[in-house]
Homo-oligomer: A and B are copies of this chain.
């Protein structure tokens, strides 16, 4: 199982290649979404401004609107000079410029007279304190490209330029099938050999973070036919199916056979630690052989291995299904807080805690420049507490062995792991 395993990036390519060969499209579907509901969604097409912002010339300050032609030729820089009644209109910031006016004098420079005239104590220059139409955004301008995740300001700009809906990539559905006779739903009165289905919860939450729609299915017993039937059912409504546990070579591990039977098992085992027993393939949904294939991942049941497998294979696929390029994870350079030896022949994913340089654990590591210190969590694929206490992943490429404490390493922070949102 482990000897001939390929690195994760190659396994990912092999998987997608097999799916495409079998007729999988893998293209994002678009749907119209109300702008008010589109936060975090990804544009499925470029957005162009229908209207200019502002749509009309408007006052940029509170004051009076005038035609520059009404200004006496001898009006100086500081005045005072006088405007006759009926030659000006009071305006507030944002008001459209009244017909025939082209300039705003700010209210601080205007003293109204009893006869409807006004005394002015400042300069008048044509067009001053007026925002021309399109100053901010011109009608016809490209606002946003396709594949862009929408921020609060994007929503405001889309609405301000005349759209009430936006074409967004449909949220891909990931069906999550927990398996195992010992697995019990969250909230169960647990028997002596029971294990809570915490993996489904973790993966569903992670799917939600990256814009996918998780669909957690019922827990399936260790029965090959039952799991096979559930896989075919789940694939009908899903863009990706994840089967948890049953991917190592134990007695009750039917996942590989089930995937092969429902479609094809393209990859069995990946050179990653933890997560070696990962399975990659596809299933044809429903009963008929003609349906389009749906990618399937067999995810090991150990929590840390489950998390790594999901990051490596589900996250980029779910990004691609939203029209995003392969995730460009944000990397951060930090300082390793202790020595670390990575096993040969595998890409190791190490959850690390990030701390300020003055934390006690890092006493022996020089951090005069203020770099954060990364403390790897103790090894062991089963320890969910490791992941809970980590704030970043440190992926170590194959072929890199010994790291000395104090080395600069590159990690990618977990979402929400540090700082404010």
Contact = CB atoms under 8 A, between A and B. Distances in A.
Given A56-B193, A92-B248, A137-B384, A152 B62 contact: no
Interface in A370-416: 380, 382-385, 387-388, 390, 412, 414-416
A321 interface: no
B156 A303 contact: yes
Contacts of A92: 248, 250-253
A382 B135 contact: yes
Contact of A319 (B35, B56, B420): B420
A17 to B, nearest CB: 23
B56 A157 contact: no
Interface in A101-135: 107, 131, 135
Interface stretch (A25-33, A327-335, A341-349): A327-335
A68 interface: no
A205 interface: yes
A164 B187 contact: yes
Contacts of A319: 420
Nearest to A187: B164
Copies per assembly: 2
A126 to B, nearest CB: 19
Interface in A172-202: 180, 182, 186-187, 190, 192-199, 201-202
Nearest to A60: B382
A384 B156 contact: yes
Interface stretch (A76-84, A208-216, A260-268, A288-296): A208-216
Interface residues of A, number: 96
A208 B250 contact: no
Given A62-B248, A151-B416, A159-B201, A135 B39 contact: no
Interface of A: 35-36, 39-40, 51, 53-56, 60, 62, 90, 92-96, 107, 131, 135-137, 143-144, 149, 151-157, 159-160, 162, 164, 180, 182, 186-187, 190, 192-199, 201-206, 208-211, 216, 245, 248-253, 301-303, 307, 315, 319, 324, 327-331, 380, 382-385, 387-388, 390, 412, 414-421
Given A36-B201, A36-B204, 11 more contacts: A36-B216, A39-B205, A95-B182, A136-B382, A136-B383, A143-B388, A152-B205, A153-B387, A156-B384, A159-B201, A160-B196
A209 B39 contact: yes
7 contacts: A94-B245, A96-B192, A136-B382, A153-B303, A153-B390, A164-B187, A324-B420
